[in-house]
Amino acid sequence: MRLWGPSWLRQRSSGTRAQTRPQNGAVPSSGLWDYARAFVESTSDCVFFLDRDWRFTFFNSRAVTELHASPDIIGSCIWERFPKTIGTIFEENYRRAVAEGTQQIFEAYFEPLSAWYEVHATPVGSDLMVIFRNITERRVAAEALRIREQQLATVFGQTMVGILHRDLNGRVLMVNQRYCDIVGRSSKELDGLPMQAFTYEEDVDWNTAMFRRHLEKAEPFQIEKRYVRPDGTVTWCAVNVSFVCDEAGKPISTITVAEDIHARKTAEERAYESRNLFQVVIDSIQDLIFVKDREGRFVFSNRSLSEIYGPIEGTVDREFFSSDRTDIHPQSDRQVLATGEPITIDEVIPVKGTPRHFQTVKVPWRRNGEIAGVVGISRDLTERLEAEAELIESKRQLATLIDNLPGLVYQCDIAAPWPFTFISEGAEAVSGYSSGEFMDGKLTWGELIHPDDVHATEETILSCVSKKQVFDVTYRITTRAGETRWVSDRGQCIHDAAGEPLFLEGIISDVTAQKEAEEQILWAAHHDHFTRLPNRTLLQLRLGKALEQAMEKGRKLGLVILDVDHLKEINDTLGHDAGDAALQAIANRLSAAVRPIDTVARNGGDEFAIILPEIDGGQEVKAIMTPILEVLKKPLPYAGRMLECRASIGASIWPDHASEASDLLKQANVALHTAKATGRDKVVVFEPSMRTEAQRKAEMRSNARGAIDARSIEPFYQPKVHLTSGELAGFEALLRWRNPRAGIELPGSIQAAFDDPHLAVALSTQMHDMVFNDMRRWLHEGVDFGHVAINASAAEFREMDFADRILERLRAADIPNRCLEIEVTETVFLGRGAEYIEKALRTLSAEGVKIALDDFGTGYASLSHLKQFPVDIIKIDRSFVNDLASNPDDPAILQAVVGLGKSLGITTVAEGVETAVQAVFLRSQGCDVGQGFLFGMASPSKLIPELVASWNPRRVDMPELDTLFPKDRKRRR
């Protein structure tokens, strides 16, 4: 067949270069033309060319044959010759190749020839070269293979077992979804994952060993193993493992088929556990359990039976029972086998040589509908029979005990009046009525209960019955003799199986003595045993109740706190018996003097409290309490002498001063402190300003305690000068304290502390410690300070060893007694315990300690005190010195005091000397010593040695005194 083709393929190279140039401009040589033609013709592929007008320009022989082309195809249009290609993948790719200038490769079905072709459309210059081959057979084979693979995949994916195919390195070659579901991991997660990673820990070692053992010979094996999922759950599988080998027989991969047998394994375990549980249950039963076949041989026994007789399976009765038993047992067995009915027999069976009472139940053992033997259960009744015998004896003893109890034991109906169904003989001892009188129905217990107690008793019992609780109620009964007795009724309700109440049972005891003792204890807990008045606990209860009543009635209420003045002195001088007698007498007087609606209580110590309900205000409180104060002033006879008692009273009003009981008590106490601080022996009703004053004093006391704790008390020393010579006579130690915030402060800032005996003593003790230390140091340094005067309070003098302690401290510090002077105020002589004060002063004076009477002329002392007490010095108060120029009476008073001192041989000291005029006048009147800012201010101890060393007696000469200006002196001490 002639070859058609493009001009460059058909032309030979004999012409000119231009003549032989193909359409695309290339000029193939003669050898190239021959080569191209030979190649196109010899290929097994079909080849044709199209020009730009889609006309055929070349066909090789293979294409002519494949397409059944006629010779006139050259020059014809492809779309005309093969119209069925229009609009198909052929046209689409041909046009794309030309338009884009790129090769298009595709596979398509050519309908005219009913064949599949692989097509390569390649632009060549302005032509299109198409090379194609018939791939119908390959496509059919591939489709068949695809169908087979799809079928295999369907079977692989739908099978009920899990299949895993992977190489020996763990790379997954194939795995179905079922296997992934079983192990709980995806194909990707399984890829490269060692089998040990998802095998149950206990199975890993033996699984691995078995795999390695079979791998050596490429032998398949089967196992049952457990897989572990990522969530920790475990599943049992039956696993078949086979090996895929290469041509040399060497294993290269494994195929694992896993069947989920978790349900079966779980069922097996449950069955095993059930059988084991059955055996455990049977073995835990204390009864003897056995099974015999029809020949009487034991085929089963539980542990209890085996522990007594040992292994008995396969034996018969006569092999381990005595001869008298060997006939009884077979007879009962034969009866069960013959009748098919269970029987119960009581028998005595020896157990380890000891006869025991057993009750044996035998029933037929059926197997496949036939009676195969006997099942027996023997229960040891020995303990029960013995217990029953003991119970009978116990009941007898209990009956005897009940009849001899001090109380009565009963059973009765659950509702009042509680008729008895049983009552012990103790009824007569408790109530005076015999048990027969109650049991005959002539009398019920409810008739004996005190009318005031019936309702509460019934409510308590019925409440406990409804709650199924034990009841314990105490109430009063009236005995046959008409006496009222207290009884304790303790019992419970007995219910039937359905929980319905049947009856009450309990015991009733006479607790009259106990009740009286409890009332005495309760009384003692709420009363003071000395005065027999309500104590503080009962006071608070009654005050709370009184406030509630006051609110309801809309009336005011008064609370009075009464403090017995100077009770401590009575205790100290006459003993506590005298103090107790005084308290009892005061309690009696108070109780007799108050209104019937008032409450008198002992608030503790020497304090009493009185609740005054239904009052109009403070004036009524004063009107009620002022006469009572007068009653208390009457002398109290005791041991042949008369005791004088006075009291101070503070009161508060509800709701004027407080709304709560605790606050009412606080306000009354504030008023009481005000009464004591303003002279005692009076009634003071609370005012708001008192709390401010109380808080101020409390702050003073707090500051004093802080100063004591911090040891910040310091003595300052003010010089005392002989007015005639100007010589230094000595010093007075004045108290100062160092405030951490304000520096050195005067004693006035803690004045309230001196009203507290304990604080006053503590302040003085610390002050005296420092003064004695200063005096000892000055003596050691050779400072001629003369003497130092210290102040002492009444509280210190009332301590029995005060004088001895002062003298001992002087001796310990090696200080001569003459160097110490003790100043006391006139009020010390006026207080209680004068005998202690006199004794202390005489002891000190006898040892050479000088006694000075301070602030003379301002108090209430009489001239007899100067004679009664060993006074060496009189200190004239500064008020008489300050007013010399303005008060015409003061010079006369000074003359009288100085004259009194001279006549009694007592040294006179004038305080507050601030001007030369005052000093000249005092000296002219014969006053011995002066003290004041004219001679020097109070100074700390460290300045005293220099002051003594530089002292100039001439500073008190008249000319020099006249040159001093009092206006430059700051008035302070």
Give residue 960's pLDDT. 44
How far apart are alpha carbons 531 and 579 in whole angstroms? 12
Residue 151's pLDDT is 66
> Which band of pLDDT confidence, cut at 50, 70 and 90, is reported for residue 310?
confident
Given a cut of 50, is residue 477 above it in pLDDT?
yes
Q: 193 and 180 in contact (C-beta within 8 Å)?
A: no
Run of H or E including 239: strand 234-245
DSSP E strands in 432-555: the ranges are 471-478, 484-495, 501-510
**Residue 526: inside a domain, yes or no?**
no
**SS3 helix, strand, coil % of the chain, rounded to 5?**
45, 25, 25
Decide if 276 is inside a domain: no
In a domain, 130, yes or no: yes
Residue 793 CA to residue 782 CA, distance in Å, equals: 31
How far is the first Cα of the chain from the last one, in angstroms, to the nearest whole number?
A: 156
Residue type, 398: L
Average confidence (pLDDT) over 129-141: 89
**Predicted local confidence at residue 25, as pLDDT:** 42
Q: Are 872 and 906 in contact (CB under 8 A)?
A: yes
| Residue-level pLDDT at 7 | 46
Give the strand order in the sheet containing 56-59: 56-59, 46-50, 127-134, 115-124, 104-110
Higher pLDDT among residues 496 and 888, named by residue:
496
**In terms of Cα–Cα distance, which of 873, 883, 950, 949 is closest to 915?**
883
Whole-angstrom Cα distance, residue 570 to residue 578?
7
**Residue 880: count of CB within 10 angstroms of its CB:** 21
| Number of Cβ atoms within 10 Å of the Cβ of 561 | 23
Percentage, residues of the chain above pLDDT 90: 49
* Integer Cα distance of 97 and 43 in angstroms: 23
Last residue of a domain, one of 489, 516, 543: 516
CATH code, domain with 681: 3.30.70.270
CATH number of the domain encompassing residue 900:
3.20.20.450
Of 26 and 883, more confident = 883
Same domain membership, residue 360 and residue 499:
no
**Same-domain status, 756 and 729:** yes
Q: Which of 344-348, 700-704, 758-762 has the lowest average pLDDT? A: 344-348
CA-wise closest residue to 852 among 830, 827, 823, 819: 823
Q: Report whether pLDDT(97) > 80.
A: yes
CA dist 461 and 448 (Å) reads 16
CA distances from 803 to 585, 589, 757, 797 (A): 35, 40, 17, 8
Q: Is 887 within a domain?
A: yes
Q: Are residues 667 and 721 in the same domain?
A: no
For residue 73 the two structure tokens come to 């195809």
Written as six digits, the tokens of 800 are 């029995």
In this prediction, residue 507 has a pLDDT band, given cuts at 50, 70 and 90, of: very high
pLDDT score for 17: 31
Residues 752 and 885 in one domain: yes
* Single residue among 208, 234, 267 that ends a domain in this structure: 267
Q: What is the predicted pLDDT for the residue at 251?
A: 94
**Greater confidence, 696 or 124?**
124
At 376 the three-state DSSP class reads strand
Query: Residue 489: pLDDT band by 50, 70, 90 thresholds?
Result: very high
Give residue 213's pLDDT. 93
- Contact present, 128 and 121 (Cβ < 8 Å): yes
Q: Quick one: pLDDT at residue 590?
A: 93
pLDDT score at 35: 67
Q: Which residue has the higher pLDDT, 2 or 51?
A: 51
As a dihedral over the C-alpha atoms of residue 861, residue 862, residue 866, residue 872, rounded to 10 degrees, the angle is 40
378: nearest Cα among 317, 289, 451, 465: 289
Task: Please check whether residue 790 is in contact with residue 820, taking contact to mean a CB–CB distance below 8 angstroms.
Answer: yes
Query: What per-residue confidence (pLDDT) applies to 274?
Result: 76
Kindly state whether residue 279 falls inside one of the protein's structural domains.
no
Mean pLDDT comparison of 368-377, 508-517, 551-560, highest-scoring range: 551-560
Residue 235 has pLDDT above 90, yes or no: yes
Q: Which of 348, 380, 412 is the last residue of a domain?
A: 380
Q: Are residues 314 and 457 in the same domain?
A: no
Is 798 within a domain? yes
If you average pLDDT over every residue of the chain, what do you get? 86
Question: What whole-number percentage of the chain has pLDDT above 70?
Answer: 89
d(CA 729, CA 723): 10
On whether both 124 and 209 belong to a single domain, the answer is no
Amino acid in the structure at residue 544: G
User: 151: Cβ–Cβ under 8 A, 6 or more apart, which residues?
Assistant: none
> For residue 722, is it left (φ>0), alpha (ψ between -120 and 50) or beta?
beta
Q: How confident is the model at residue 269 (pLDDT cuts 50, 70, 90)?
A: confident
Under the banding of pLDDT at 50, 70 and 90, the label for residue 22 is very low
> What is the arithmetic mean of pLDDT over 879-905?
83
Residue 155 has pLDDT above 70, yes or no: no
The stretch 766-778 carries a mean pLDDT of 96
Do 397 and 469 share a domain, yes or no? Answer: yes
pLDDT band at 51 (very low <50, low <70, confident <90, very high): very high
Q: Say yes or no: 91 and 109 in one domain.
A: yes
Window from 39-48, 614-623, 775-784, 910-919 with minimum mean pLDDT: 39-48
What is the DSSP pairing of strand 636-638 with strand 599-604? Answer: unpaired
* Residue 172 and residue 44 share a domain: no
For tokens 């300052």, what's the residue?
A: 716
pLDDT computed for residue 2 by the predictor: 37
- CA 435 to each of CA 403, 425, 491, 506, 776: distance values in angstroms, whole numbers, following the listed order: 10, 6, 18, 15, 94
pLDDT in tens, 722-736: 999 999 999 999 999
Give the residue, 695 or 445, on which the prediction is more confident.
445
Would residue 343 count as lying in a domain?
yes
The span from the CA of 492 to the CA of 472, in Å, is 9
Per-residue pLDDT at 415 = 78
Asked if 196 and 224 touch (Cβ cutoff 8 Å), the reply is no
HSE of 535, CA atoms in CB hemisphere, 13 A: 12
Whichever domain contains 495, its CATH number is 3.30.450.20
Q: How many CA atoms lie within 13 Å of 503's alpha carbon, on the beta-carbon side?
A: 11
Q: Does 971 have pLDDT greater than 90?
A: no
Task: Report residue 186: phi and psi, to 5°.
Answer: -80, 170
Helix (H) or strand (E) holding 618: helix 618-632
pTM of the predicted model, to two decimals? 0.44
Is 361 a member of any domain? Answer: yes
Kindly report, residue by residue over 406-449, the tens digit of the pLDDT. 788 999 888 777 788 888 888 888 999 998 888 888 888 989 99
Residue 602 predicted with pLDDT over 50: yes
Whether 24 has a pLDDT exceeding 50, the answer reads: no
Residue 623 confidence (pLDDT): 92
| Omega cis (within 30) before 419 | no
For residues 371 and 391, state if they share a domain: no
Work out how many domains the chain is built from and give that number.
6
**780 & 905 share domain:** yes
The pLDDT value given to residue 775? 97
In terms of residue numbers, what domain contains 47?
7-140
List pLDDT tens digits, range 366-402: 988 899 899 989 888 888 888 888 777 776 666 666 6
- Ramachandran region, residue 110 (left: φ > 0; alpha: ψ -120 to 50; beta: rest): beta
* 824 and 781 part of one domain: yes
H or E segment and range at residue 683: strand 683-685
pLDDT digits (tens, 9 = 90+) for 732-767: 999 999 998 889 999 989 888 888 888 999 999 999
- The residue behind tokens 């000397």 is 913
Residue 324: its pLDDT value, please? 56
User: Prior bond to 655 cis, omega within 30?
Assistant: yes
Question: How far is residue 918's CA from residue 930's CA, in Å, rounded to a whole number?
Answer: 10
Confidence category of residue 233, pLDDT binned at 50, 70, 90: very high
What is the token pair recorded at 101? Answer: 């200038």
Cβ(253)–Cβ(173) below 8 Å:
yes
Report residue 836's pLDDT band, with 50, 70 and 90 as the boundaries: confident
Q: Give the tens place of pLDDT for each residue, 914-933.
A: 999 999 999 999 999 999 99
CA dist 515 and 519 (Å) reads: 6
